[in-house]
Amino acid sequence: MMGTGNSGFSEAGLRRLRAVLGRHVDSGKIPGLVALVGRGEETHVEALGTMRHDGGAPMRRDTIFRMASTSKPLTVAPVMILLDECRLRLDDLVEQWLPELADRQVLKRPDSPLDDTVPARRPITVRDLLTSTFGLGMDLTAMSYPIMGKVFELELTGHGGPVPGPDEWMRRLGTLPLMHQPGEHWQYHISIDVLGVLVARVTGRPFEEFLRERVLDPLGMKDTGLHVPADKIDRLPPSYAPDPETGEFTVWDEAEGGLYSQPREFQSAANDVASTVDDYHAYFRMLLNGGMHGGERILSRPAVELMTTNRLTPEQNAARTAMARDSVHVGFGQGQQGGWGIGMAVRTYRGDYAPIGQFGWDGGTGTTAYADPHNQLTGILLTQVGLSVPDPARLIHDFWTTLYQAIDN
pLDDT of residue 159: 60
The pLDDT value given to residue 285: 98
Q: CB-based contacts of 343: which residues, under 8 Å, 6+ apart?
A: 72, 73, 74, 75, 76, 192, 307, 361
Sign of the C-alpha dihedral computed for residues 252, 243, 394 and 329 taken in this order:
positive
User: What does the pLDDT read at residue 338?
Assistant: 85
Residue 276: half-sphere exposure toward Cβ, Cα within 13 Å: 23
β-partners of residue 339 are 346
pLDDT digits (tens, 9 = 90+) for 79-108: 999 999 999 999 999 999 999 999 999 999
SS3 257: coil
pLDDT tens-digit series, residues 4-32: 345 699 999 999 999 999 999 999 999 99
Name the stretches of the chain with pLDDT < 50. 1-5, 328-334
At 80 the pLDDT is 98
Beta bridge partners of 253: 239
